[in-house]
């Protein structure tokens, strides 16, 4: 069997021999694109370079990139969809263009991956008001030996890629498909047909446009080539499998599940695939710093873990150990390629165990209630959610499993009615238990100022803020410092912050000139970012303040409101930069 590692190496070596520099995979959490939750393609971390900025490694690049596509969650369970996948990708940043790009693709697919040239069909962009028909690619394909009757011109929905988020580089593309069955399902059977005859094995995007926030396509200074292809799918096809899960990427985990559950994969394909796919995605996501939560990235993670647990629960009474065992298999198998899995292994296991444990309890209770329900309507589904914390998507999943239908509208009506009721009920209530999200983020914001100062006390005045990111679940703070913090240093920092919280210092805001504030010792993230007149937050009495920072706020009125913090992780965030994650303890 050809292994995933063989393919990674063959791909990288092919492009290395054609002067492409190998670059590492970027993290799954995009660093500069707030419009998407996860890195969805190899081009994603390269957006600034596709827009024209020079890349330090040159203008021909290649890599294997970790990706997560959340719109595929519900598709997982079939033979070739995944939430986490590895993308083999290479780029020409304003260097070679269509002719070389398509010739490379053809050579790789036919000589290295050894697909039969007779089984390949290609598609090209049909043209519209934004860009012309791509006759050029079609004639290049013909010169490479693909006959006209296997070249299809398709519209934007099929043959245009990007932008990855809302704005950014994009353009027409040309895709290559392997004909798996050579059997047409009807007169319109062509690449992209849902009958499953054609499988995409490569995509060259000719990134020559930048889509602006007003929806316009502007020409980029230099056209680029962005090529990407899924490792999992190619690996299966190269081995002659029509199921990705039969490859060495998945078999160890699948076999383990067979042992744990005493069932055969062949009889439980959908459930097994969901379990291994979702747990693999979850460990990679956790390794890149995401925690389960009820919002955005954390919610995707939570959904993946819950769905895996739900499926495991069909086979074993307690999913905790099986999920950890599956996670262990992936950590051991994939950390030679992605060492972060090994360095974050304790955090991964702890986070996974906590979430699985919590959800298993909800699940046990919810399932008992679910089984008591005589008529599964929107109200019953809402009650399960409201009273037992049983998530809506799990109710749908259960309904599917039991071949029942569920009306989402009914659930939504019930949900809205309830929201209305609780809004009315909360008028005049004490704030107490009704903490909203902005209150929590405000606490985190003030905690960040305390943390910044505490780090300077413990590590020295070279500590400067390099970045900050707050969610309702945690704060993340990046700062200049070259060495890993010792556990004693971390403990000291945490103690100082918590002491200042216990001291219940007042937090006050004043408008001042920037120069005056700076001369008093106020800290600023980017000095040049601020206007001449700035707002300054001071923690502690004016004559003996603890922290002073240029900042737009908002902040709590006194530090006691924060309750307490705990540093949950410290890691590198690049050369000379450390990153701290902390959570509120109350």
What is the full DSSP assignment across 481-509? --SPPPHHHHHHHHHHHHHHHHTT-BEEE
For residue 521, count CB atoms less than 10 angstroms from its CB and return exposed for 0-12, middle for 13-18, buried for 19 or more. exposed
User: How far is 119 from 10, CA to CA, in rounded Å?
Assistant: 21
Using the contact rule CB under 6 A, the part of the chain among 220-228, 304-312, 434-442, 526-534 near ligand SER is 220-228
Using the contact rule CB under 6 A, the part of the chain among 41-49, 217-225, 380-388, 504-512 near ligand SER is 41-49
Question: Least separation, in Å, of the C-beta of 79 and ligand SER?
Answer: 19
Question: Of these, 161, 198, 272, 291, which contacts ligand SER (CB under 6 A)?
Answer: 161
Tell me which residues in 347-366 interact with ligand SER (CB under 6 A): none
Q: Using an 8 Å Cβ cutoff, are 527 and 518 in contact?
A: yes
Angle at which helices 4-16 and 231-238 cross, to 10°: 110
Question: Of these, 4, 23, 26, 42, which contacts ligand SER (CB under 6 A)?
Answer: 42
Q: Is 86 in the site for ligand SER (CB under 6 A)?
A: no
Using the contact rule CB under 6 A, the part of the chain among 6-14, 38-46, 184-192, 351-359 near ligand SER is 38-46
Cα three-residue angle 147-149-150, rounded to 5 degrees:
70
Using the contact rule CB under 6 A, the part of the chain among 224-232, 236-244, 287-295, 361-369 near ligand SER is 224-232
Question: Least separation, in Å, of the C-beta of 203 and ligand SER?
Answer: 4
Using the contact rule CB under 6 A, the part of the chain among 226-234, 315-323, 433-441, 458-466 near ligand SER is 226-234
Radius of gyration of the chain (CA): 27
Using the contact rule CB under 6 A, the part of the chain among 5-13, 39-47, 131-139, 475-483 near ligand SER is 39-47
For residue 534, count CB atoms less than 10 angstroms from its CB and return exposed for 0-12, middle for 13-18, buried for 19 or more. buried
Q: Peptide bond before 554: cis, by omega within 30 degrees of 0?
A: yes
Using the contact rule CB under 6 A, the part of the chain among 40-48, 114-122, 300-308, 429-437 near ligand SER is 40-48
Q: Is 43 in the site for ligand SER (CB under 6 A)?
A: yes
Using the contact rule CB under 6 A, the part of the chain among 221-229, 231-239, 268-276, 546-554 near ligand SER is 221-229
What is the full DSSP assignment across 120-135? EEEEEE---SSS---H
Q: Using an 8 Å Cβ cutoff, are 323 and 352 in contact?
A: yes
Backbone angles phi, psi at 168, to 5 degrees: 125, -175
User: Residues near 151 by Cβ (< 8 Å), separated by ≥ 6?
Assistant: 121, 122, 123, 124, 138, 141, 142
Question: Of these, 28, 29, 41, 253, which contacts ligand SER (CB under 6 A)?
Answer: 41
Q: Closer CB to ligand SER, residue 89 or residue 289?
A: 89
Q: Using an 8 Å Cβ cutoff, are 83 and 202 in contact?
A: no
Total residues at interface with ligand SER (CB under 6 A): 10
Question: Least separation, in Å, of the C-beta of 200 and ligand SER?
Answer: 8
Q: Is 23 in the site for ligand SER (CB under 6 A)?
A: no
Question: Of these, 228, 319, 378, 391, which contacts ligand SER (CB under 6 A)?
Answer: 228
The residue number whose beta carbon is nearest to ligand SER equals: 228
Q: Closer CB to ligand SER, residue 227 or residue 446?
A: 227
Question: Least separation, in Å, of the C-beta of 57 and ligand SER?
Answer: 18
Tell me which residues in 189-218 interact with ligand SER (CB under 6 A): 203, 205
User: Residues near 25 by Cβ (< 8 Å), separated by ≥ 6?
Assistant: 63, 64, 65, 66, 338
Q: Closer CB to ligand SER, residue 208 or residue 538?
A: 208
Q: Closer CB to ligand SER, residue 160 or residue 359?
A: 160
Q: Closer CB to ligand SER, residue 217 or residue 545?
A: 217
Question: Of these, 27, 30, 89, 378, which contacts ligand SER (CB under 6 A)?
Answer: 89
Which helix H or strand E contains 299, and what residues bound it?
helix 296-312
Alpha helix (H) residue ranges in 26-74: 47-50
User: How far is 392 from 118, CA to CA, in rounded Å?
Assistant: 48
For residue 515, count CB atoms less than 10 angstroms from its CB and return exposed for 0-12, middle for 13-18, buried for 19 or more. exposed
User: How far is 112 from 10, CA to CA, in rounded Å?
Assistant: 7
Question: Of these, 86, 179, 226, 414, which contacts ligand SER (CB under 6 A)?
Answer: 226
User: What is the contact surface with ligand SER in residues (CB under 6 A)?
Assistant: 41-43, 89, 161, 203, 205, 226-228
């Amino acid at each position: 069997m050809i292994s995933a590692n063989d393919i990674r190496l063959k791909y990288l070596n092919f492009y290395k021999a054609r002067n492409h520099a190998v670059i590492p995979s970027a993290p799954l959490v995009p660093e500069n694109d707030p419009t998407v939750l996860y890195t969805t393609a190899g081009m994603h971390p390269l957006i600034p370079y596709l827009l024209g900025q020079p890349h330090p490694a040159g203008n021909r690049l290649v890599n294997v990139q970790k990706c997560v596509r959340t719109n595929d969650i519900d598709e997982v369970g079939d033979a070739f969809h995944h939430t986490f996948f590895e993308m083999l990708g290479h780029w020409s940043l304003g260097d070679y263009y269509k002719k070389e790009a398509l010739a490379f693709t053809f050579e790789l697919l036919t000589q290295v991956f050894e697909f039969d040239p007779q089984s390949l069909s290609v598609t090209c962009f049909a043209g519209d008001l934004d860009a012309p028909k791509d006759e050029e690619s079609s004639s290049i394909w013909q010169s490479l030996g693909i006959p006209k009757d296997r070249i299809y011109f398709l519209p934007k929905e099929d043959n245009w890629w990007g932008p990855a988020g809302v704005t950014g580089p994009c353009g027409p593309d040309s895709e290559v498909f392997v004909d798996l069955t050579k059997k047409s399902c009807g007169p319109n059977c062509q690449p992209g047909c849902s009958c499953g005859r054609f499988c995409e094995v490569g995509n060259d995007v000719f990134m020559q446009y930048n889509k602006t926030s007003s929806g316009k396509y502007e020409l980029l200074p230099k056209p680029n080539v962005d090529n990407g292809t899924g490792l999992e799918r190619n690996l299966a096809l190269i081995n002659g499998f029509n199921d990705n899960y039969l490859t060495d990427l998945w078999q160890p985990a699948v076999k383990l599940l067979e042992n744990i559950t005493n069932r055969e994969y062949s009889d439980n394909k959908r459930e097994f695939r969901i379990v291994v796919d979702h747990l693999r995605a979850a460990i990679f996501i956790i390794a890149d710093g995401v925690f389960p939560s009820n919002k955005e990235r954390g919610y995707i993670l939570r959904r993946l873990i819950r769905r895996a647990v739900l499926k495991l629960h069909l086979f074993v009474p307690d999913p905790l150990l099986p999920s950890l065992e599956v996670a262990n298999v992936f950590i051991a198998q994939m950390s030679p390629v992605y060492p972060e899995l090994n360095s974050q292994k304790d955090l991964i296991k702890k986070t996974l165990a906590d979430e699985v444990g919590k959800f298993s309890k909800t699940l046990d209770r919810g399932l008992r209630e679910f089984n008591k329900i005589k008529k599964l309507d929107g109200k019953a589904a809402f009650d399960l959610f409201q009273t037992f914390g049983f998530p809506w998507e799990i109710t749908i999943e259960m309904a599917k499993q039991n071949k029942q239908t569920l009306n989402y509208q009914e659930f939504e009506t019930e949900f809205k009615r309830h929201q209305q009721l609780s809004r009315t009920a909360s008028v005049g209530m004490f704030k107490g238990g009704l903490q909203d999200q902005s209150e929590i983020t405000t606490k985190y914001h003030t905690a960040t100022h305390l943390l910044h100062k505490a780090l300077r006390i413990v590590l020295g005045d070279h500590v400067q803020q390099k970045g900050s990111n707050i969610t309702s679940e945690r704060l993340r703070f990046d700062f200049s410092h070259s060495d890993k913090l010792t556990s004693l240093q971390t403990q000291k920092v945490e103690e100082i912050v918590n002491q200042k919280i216990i001291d219940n210092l007042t937090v006050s805001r004043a408008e001042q000139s920037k120069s005056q504030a700076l001369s008093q010792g106020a800290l600023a993230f980017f000095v040049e970012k601020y206007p001449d007149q700035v707002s300054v937050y001071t923690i502690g009495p004016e004559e003996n303040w603890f922290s002073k920072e240029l900042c737009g706020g908002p902040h709590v009125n006194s530090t006691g409101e924060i309750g307490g913090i705990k540093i949950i992780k410290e890691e590198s965030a690049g050369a000379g930069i450390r990153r701290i994650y902390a959570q509120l303890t109350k």
